[in-house]
Chains A and B, each alone.
Chain A
Amino acid sequence: MEDLIEIRWHGRGGQGAKTASLLLADAAFNTGKYIQGFPEYGPERMGAPITAYNRISNSPITIHSNIYEPDYVVVVDDTLLDAVDVTSGLKKSGAIIINTTKDGEVLKEKLKNYEGNIYTIDARKVSIEALGKYFPNTPMLAAIVKVSQVMTDEELLKDMEGSFKHKFAKKPEVIEGNMKALQLALTEVKKVN
Chain B
Amino acid sequence: MGIRERLSGNEAAAIAMKQINPDVVAAFPITPSTEIPQYFSTFVSNGQVDTEFVAVESEHSAMTACIGAEAAGARAMTATSANGLSLMWEQIYVASSLRLPIVMSLVNRAVSGPLNIHNDHSDAMGVRDSGWIMLFSESNQEAYDNLLMAHKIAENKNVLLPLMVCQDGFITSHSIENIELLEDDKVKSFVGTYKPEHYLLNKEEPIAIGPLDLQAYLFEHKYQQAEAMRNAKNVIAEVSKEFEALTGRKYSFFEEYKLDDAEIAIVCMNSTAGTTKFVVDNLRKNGVKAGLLKIRMFRPFPAEEIAKALSNLKAIAVLDKADSLNGAGGALFEDVTSAMFVNKIQVPTVNYVYGIGGRDTTAKDIESVYTDLTEIANTGGTTNFYRYLGVRK
Contact = CB atoms under 8 A, between A and B. Distances in A.
5 contacts: A38-B170, A62-B277, A63-B363, A64-B272, A64-B274
Given A25-B6, A62-B278, A36 B362 contact: no
A38 B360 CA distance: 13
Given A64-B168, A65-B360, 6 more contacts: A1-B278, A34-B178, A36-B175, A61-B177, A63-B363, A64-B171
Interface in A169-189: none
Interface string A14-47: 0000000010011001000011111101000000
B6 A26 contact: yes
Given A1-B281, A66-B362, A38 B176 contact: yes
B178 A35 contact: yes
A-B pairs with lowest CB-CB distance, top 6:
A38-B175, A62-B274, A64-B271, A63-B278, A37-B176, A29-B6
Contacts of A29: 6, 178
B172 A64 contact: yes
Contact of A39 (B6, B174, B274, B277): B174
Given A38-B174, A38-B175, A68 B118 contact: no
A104 interface: no
A131 to B, nearest CB: 25
A127 to B, nearest CB: 24
A62 B273 CA distance: 8
B130 interface: no
Nearest to A61: B177
Contacts of B168: 64
Nearest to A37: B176
Contacts of A39: 174
A60 interface: yes
Interface centre among B168, B175, B361, B362 (most CB of A within 10 A): B175
Interface string B156-170: 000000000000101
Contact of B176 (A22, A60, A62): A22
Contacts of A35: 6, 176-178
A22 B7 CA distance: 11
B311 interface: no
Nearest to A57: B178
A30 to B, nearest CB: 9
Given A62-B274, A62-B275, A41 B363 contact: no
A65 B177 contact: no
Contacts, number: 59
A167 B274 CA distance: 32
Interface centre among A36, A64, A68 (most CB of B within 10 A): A64
B139 to A, nearest CB: 8
B175 A63 contact: no
A158 B175 CA distance: 24
Nearest to A39: B174
Nearest to B4: A29
A39 B8 CA distance: 12
A41 B271 contact: no
Contacts of A37: 175-176
A66 B175 CA distance: 11
Contacts of B274: 62-64
Interface string B259-303: 000000000000110110110010000000000000000000000
Nearest to A54: B176
A29 B6 CA distance: 7
A65 B363 CA distance: 8
A63 B277 CA distance: 8
Contacts of B272: 64
A1 B178 CA distance: 15
B273 to A, nearest CB: 8
A36 B360 contact: no
B238 to A, nearest CB: 27
A63 B138 CA distance: 10
Given A35-B6, A41-B170, A60 B271 contact: no
Nearest to B171: A64
Contacts of A1: 278, 281
B275 A64 contact: yes
A36 B177 contact: yes
A35 B7 CA distance: 10
Interface string A76-113: 00000000000000000000000000000000000000
Contact of B362 (A22, A41, A61, A65): A65
Interface string B346-384: 000000000000001111000000000000000000000
Given A22-B176, A35-B178, A36-B176, A63 B275 contact: yes
A35 B140 CA distance: 12
Nearest to A18: B174
Contacts of B139: 62, 64
Contact of B175 (A34, A64, A68): A64
A64 B168 CA distance: 10
Contacts of B174: 38-39, 41
A62 B176 CA distance: 13
B277 to A, nearest CB: 5
B216 to A, nearest CB: 50
Contacts of A25: 6, 176
A60 B178 contact: yes
A34 B139 CA distance: 13
B336 to A, nearest CB: 22
